[in-house]
Amino acid sequence: MSADIFLIGPMATGKSVVGRQLAARLGVGFIDTDAEVTSVHGSIADIFAAGGEPAFRALETAALRSAAERPEPAVIATGGGAVLSEENRGILGDGYTVYLETDLETVRTRIAGVPGRPLLEGNPLDRWVQIFAAREAHYRSCATVIVDARTGTVAELAENILGAYRRRASTTGGITT
If we measure between CA atoms, which residue out of 135, 137, 162, 129 comes closest to residue 147?
162
Tens of pLDDT, residue by residue over 40-93, are 999 888 898 899 889 999 999 999 999 999 999 999 999 999 999 999 999 999
CB 32 within 8 A of CB 16: yes
End-to-end CA distance of the chain, in Å? Answer: 17
**What sign does the CA torsion over 40, 90, 31, 57 have?**
positive
Tens of pLDDT, residue by residue over 86-130, are 999 999 999 999 999 999 888 888 776 666 676 667 677 888 899
Give the pairing of strands 5-8 and 96-101.
parallel
Tens of pLDDT, residue by residue over 30-41, are 999 999 999 999
Q: What pLDDT, on the 0 to 100 scale, is given for residue 170?
A: 67
In this predicted structure, the answer to whether residue 21 has a pLDDT above a threshold of 50 is yes
Whole-model pTM above 0.75?
yes
Q: What pLDDT, on the 0 to 100 scale, is given for residue 113?
A: 60
Give residues with Cβ within 8 angstroms of 11, minimum separation 6.
Answer: 79, 80, 107, 111, 117, 119, 120, 128, 131
d(C-alpha 92, C-alpha 156), whole Å: 23
d(C-alpha 152, C-alpha 52), whole Å: 36
